Amino acid sequence: MKISPEKALAIATLARLEVSPELAASLGAQMDDILGYMDKLNELDTASVEPMYTTVEQPGFLREDEVAKEFGRAQILLNAPESDGEYFIVPRIV
């Protein structure tokens, strides 16, 4: 697939990038090289390769969830810039 400078400029515009016409021609060539490499990868036979989510076998380092109440309401409200003794008071946003 050949990426024209106009197509590269359109892609840059969608990405909200300001690109000069000279740079668009260079970007088009670079995008063309990337797509060519991807086409080369598509030539590989991967029918016998099992899908995986990572290349490294990682055991799950999970722990049991344990509920623990470490701070009381009064302690937490001490950090609030403003409170009514029970809740945080924040500016109204409409």
Quote the pLDDT of residue 7. 93
Residue 73, pLDDT > 90, answer no
- Separation between Cα atoms, residue 90 and residue 77, nearest integer Å: 13
Residue 14: pLDDT band (50, 70, 90) is very high
Q: What is the mean pLDDT of residues 73-81?
A: 89
Q: For residue 77, how many other CB atoms are within 10 A of its CB?
A: 16
Q: For residue 29, how many other CB atoms are within 10 A of its CB?
A: 14
- Separation between Cα atoms, residue 38 and residue 53, nearest integer Å: 20
Q: Where are the domains of the chain?
A: 5-42
- pTM of this prediction? 0.48
Residue 10, pLDDT > 90, answer yes
CATH number given to 5-42:
1.10.20
